[in-house]
Every structure is written in C-alpha cells, then in structure tokens.
Amino acid sequence: MNEAPHLTFDLDAPGVSRGHLVVPGGADHEEFSLAVFSLNKGEGPRLLITGGNHGNELEGPLVARRLIEWLPKAQTSGRIIVLPVLNPLAVQAWSRNTPLDGLNLNRVFPGRADGSVTERIADAVSRVLLPNADIVFDLHSFGPTWDFPPAVITHPIADADLMAKTLAMAAAFKLPVTLLWQHDDTAGMFDSWAHSLGKVFVCAEFGGGTVSAEALAIYEAGVRNALVTLGLVEGKVEDVSFRNKRSSQTLETLISNELKSPAQGIFEPRCSVLDEVRPGDLIGILHSMDSVSAPSIDIRAPGPSIVLAIGSGAHVDRNEGVAILARPLHN
Ligand SMILES: [Zn+2]
C-alpha cells in the first residue's frame, strides 16, 4: 500500500512555509512532489491559489511565482496557499493533458488514490489542500488558438447563495470581463467539485497565444485586487486597462453562443474581442485552400452580442468553434 498524499510541512505553522505536496507513486509513475508555498497570518479568509492545471497555460504559474515573491511583505491576515504548478508532467510537455495517461486534470476531480497519475494529483489536491481553503483561484489561460480578454469565470451553480458569492468574488478582480459560462462538459472539473463542497471557486482566464509582459501585469493586478477585497493584503483596488478599455463588465455565454465553422478551411477573424456586434455583422471568413475559385464563407453574428473570444487564424475542421459571443448578464 502506498503512503497517503501529504504535505512535507505543517500548514498550521505561523508565517511562511515552503515545501511540497507529495503525490504517491502508482503503476504508471513513481512518487513525485508539487512545490507549495503557504503563508499563515492567522484569522481571516483561507485561500488556495493554483496554476498549471493545464500544461500549456503558463501565465498562471508565472503569476503564482510573482505572488510568492511579494506576499511575505504584503499579507496582513488569513491564510494563503500557493501551488504554482498543479500538473508538472503536462507543463514539462507544454501539453493541455498529461501525456502519460492522456487525461485532462480538470476533468478528473476529485481524483482517485489508486488511479492513474493525473487522478492521483487530483486526489492529493482534493484530500490535502482543498479542506484547508474556503476560496480557490485557479489560474488558467485560454491557450494559443484563441484571442480572449482577461476574464474571471464561473459556471452556473445550483446554490443561489454560492452563485452570488462566486460572481462577487470574480468581479473583485476588476478584470475587463466577469463571465458566467454555461458549459456542457463540467463533470470532473476542479471548480465543479469545489462548488459541490460549498467553496467559492473562480477561474481566471487570459488568451492571446503568447505569454506577454502586458498580459502578466494585467493578470497579477487582477489577483492583487481580489486579495485586497478579501482583506488579505492592504492596498487599493486599481482599474485594469486592456487595449484602451478600462471598464469591467459582467457577461453570460450559453452553449449555443459558440459559433462553429460550417466547413473545413482556414479561419480569418474579422472582429476583435469585446467588439459589440449587431445581427449580420461579419465575425470572420472561412477560406477553402483546395481551390482558389471556391467561394469563401462569411460567418456572421446571429444576434446582438459582444465578441467574447475569437479564433486565431488557423486551420479548422467543420463544426469546430471559431468565435464565442456573449451578452450582459441580467440577474
Ligand atoms: Zn485551462
């Protein structure tokens, strides 16, 4: 029988602790460790911040490292645990999923102690870290195939009180978009599992393909705003500007708001994220590359919306998403 997952230090020790979360070995991989930082300043909110859930989204691990640098000087109350990389196997491979078992860590929560390596990571986080947090920020990014504004996201939650608390937490980042995202593939997500335990859990997302200094600055400012609002650090909430837009808005997107490619081809975006579009406005054009005489296909907005995400110029298959539209959320 393997050792149970555990921390190499005591979370209740006051002040800064640096150590590891030990993920037990199994048939497919030996025991390994995830780096963990903890800062215990006593009474106050208990927050867990995670990055590197998906291995090709590296803004989160970088912002987490920045937090570890300045939190010891800034945190005045409560407890913060930072785990910069949830899935080191996927990060090493710059891959969304774990190469070894092909699993998406964000679809296997709460994990299995006797499962494959991805399931054992989820099990360790679920059993050792999650009970020590009331609030979770999971730092993602939208990956290289989309342009997406800095956003904090939650999915619909049946418990109305938890839904309201979670949306308020998301809005506290003051990022350009707070998003309620209806999704048909939420089984096993880290946030769904934490929500089922009554915890406030939000995902930060930021797209654009490359990790830029500008993106990291916006991301870090958003997290800092949330920490100030929670009373964990002192300071003032600041406005975050993105592409000359300063206002933040709360949007909702439904499954039916994703526009799919009507055929195979190369997608040319013709609008930008946060553009307001009217019915019939051009979203993008799909080009056939088989023949220069084949007509290109216009993809147009079906209704009044805000462009939430737009596909980068890329080869797409028929029925692959090329844009996601949204509308203001009316509670
Ligand atoms: Zn992700």
Ligand 1 center–CA 300 separation, angstroms: 28
Ligand 1 center–CA 91 separation, angstroms: 12
According to the model, what pLDDT value does residue 172 have?
Answer: 97
Ligand 1 center–CA 291 separation, angstroms: 36
The predicted-structure confidence for 33-50, as pLDDT tens digits, reads as follows: 999 999 999 999 999 999
Output the six-digit token pair for 244: 């000359």
According to the model, what pLDDT value does residue 57 have?
Answer: 92
Q: At 180, is the secondary structure helix, strand, or coil?
A: strand
The predicted-structure confidence for 54-89, as pLDDT tens digits, reads as follows: 999 999 999 999 999 999 999 999 999 999 999 999
According to the model, what pLDDT value does residue 80 have?
Answer: 98
pTM assigned to the model = 0.95
Ligand 1 center–CA 228 separation, angstroms: 25
3-state secondary structure 89-116: HHHHCCCCCCCCCCCCHHHCCCCCCCCC
User: Rounded mean pLDDT of 196-207?
Assistant: 94
Ligand 1 center–CA 108 separation, angstroms: 13
Task: Write the DSSP symbol of residue 208.
Answer: S
Rounded Cα gap, residues 260 and 177, in angstroms: 22
Please, is 315 exposed, middle or buried when counting C-beta atoms within 10 Å of its C-beta (0-12, 13-18, 19+)? exposed
According to the model, what pLDDT value does residue 279 have?
Answer: 98
Ligand 1 center–CA 292 separation, angstroms: 37
Q: At 73, is the secondary structure helix, strand, or coil?
A: helix
Ligand 1 center–CA 78 separation, angstroms: 27
Ligand 1 center–CA 53 separation, angstroms: 6
Ligand 1 center–CA 280 separation, angstroms: 31
Ligand 1 center–CA 261 separation, angstroms: 22
Rounded Cα gap, residues 181 and 192, in angstroms: 12
Which of 92-96, 201-205, 242-246, 304-308 comes out lowest in average pLDDT? Answer: 242-246
What is each CA distance from 278 to 26, 131, 179, in whole angstroms?
A: 54, 46, 20
Average pLDDT over all residues of the chain = 94
Task: Write the DSSP symbol of residue 23.
Answer: E
Ligand 1 center–CA 191 separation, angstroms: 12
- Ion ligand 1 — residues with CB under 5 Å? 54, 57, 140
Half-sphere exposure (CA, 13 Å, Cβ side) for 46?
11
Ligand 1 center–CA 65 separation, angstroms: 18
Ligand 1 center–CA 286 separation, angstroms: 27
Rounded Cα gap, residues 184 and 180, in angstroms: 13
Question: Does position 312 have pLDDT exceeding 90, yes or no?
Answer: no
Half-sphere exposure (CA, 13 Å, Cβ side) for 324?
20
Question: What is the b/e burial string over 183-196, where b = at least 16 CB atoms within 10 angstroms of the residue's CB?
Answer: eeebebbbbbbbbe
Give the closest residue to 40 by CA, choosing from 75, 65, 5: 75
According to the model, what pLDDT value does residue 208 have?
Answer: 67
Ligand 1 center–CA 205 separation, angstroms: 8
> What are the φ/ψ torsions at residue 315 (nearest 5 degrees)?
-70, 130
Ligand 1 center–CA 58 separation, angstroms: 10
Ligand 1 center–CA 203 separation, angstroms: 9
Is the sign of the CA dihedral 27, 82, 67, 223 positive or negative? positive
The predicted-structure confidence for 106-153, as pLDDT tens digits, reads as follows: 999 999 999 999 999 999 999 999 999 999 999 999 877 888 999 999
According to the model, what pLDDT value does residue 2 have?
Answer: 62
The predicted-structure confidence for 202-261, as pLDDT tens digits, reads as follows: 999 987 667 889 889 999 999 999 999 999 999 999 988 888 776 789 999 999 999 999
Ligand 1 center–CA 147 separation, angstroms: 14
CB 310 within 8 A of CB 254: no
Q: How far is CA 73 from the centre of its chain?
A: 26
Ligand 1 center–CA 218 separation, angstroms: 18
Ligand 1 center–CA 13 separation, angstroms: 32
According to the model, what pLDDT value does residue 81 have?
Answer: 98
Ligand 1 center–CA 57 separation, angstroms: 6
CB 17 within 8 A of CB 51: no
